[in-house]
Amino acid sequence: MARALLVALAVLLVAGCGGEKTVEPTGPVVGTLPQAGKANPAAGKKVFSDSGCSGCHTFQPAGANGTIGPDLDKVLQGKDAAFIKESITDPNKEIAQGYQPNIMPGTYGSQLTSQQINDLVAFLQTG
């Protein structure tokens, strides 16, 4: 009896496979996430403060003097926006000399919105 029940269940599951319908977008697809607006360094300063960055980093435009992480006034000199963004969203990708991996949380990429990250990057470029 149990075996017949299992066979019947398997037949029902298999019968349901392959019946999916492919759907097409109804309009142009721009992306899966909302597009971030123009970066705002002033808003980025607030993100820096609210996210606790000053507790670990020195960054003169923020009045921050943390020493757990790298001095951003020095390590970000000459770095482009893509490098800064990657340093926020994937901090272990490139570790500043003299520092160990896994000190900076790797969760900012999922905790902050795209707009907040862009604003933060714009603020960090003011240094």
Task: Let me know if residue 96 belongs to a domain.
Answer: yes
User: Structurally, how many domains does the chain consist of?
Assistant: 1
The pLDDT tens digits for 29-59 are: 666 655 667 999 999 999 999 999 999 999 9
Would 22 be classed as within a structural domain?
A: no
**The predicted structure's pLDDT at residue 5:** 52
Kindly state whether residue 26 falls inside one of the protein's structural domains.
no
Task: With a cut of 60, say whether residue 13 has pLDDT above it.
Answer: no
Structure tokens belonging to residue 58: 């020195």
Can you give the pLDDT at residue 127?
Answer: 87
pLDDT digits over 92-112, tens only? 999 999 999 999 999 999 999
* Distance in angstroms (rounded) separating the CA atoms of residues 44 and 52: 12
- The angle, 0 to 180 degrees and rounded to 10, between the axes of the packed helices 114-124 and 81-89 is 120
Rounded-to-integer distance, Cα 88 and Cα 108, Å = 6
CATH number at residue 67: 1.10.760.10
Residue-range definition of the domain harbouring residue 88: 41-124
Looking at residue 37, its pLDDT comes to 78
Question: Looking at residues 75-81, what average pLDDT do you find?
Answer: 95
Share of the chain above pLDDT 90, in %: 70
pLDDT at 27: 66
Each residue of 21-35: pLDDT tens digit?
A: 666 666 666 666 556
Q: What pLDDT is attached to residue 41?
A: 97
Has residue 14 got a pLDDT over 80?
A: no
Q: How far apart are CA 39 and CA 85, in angstroms?
A: 12
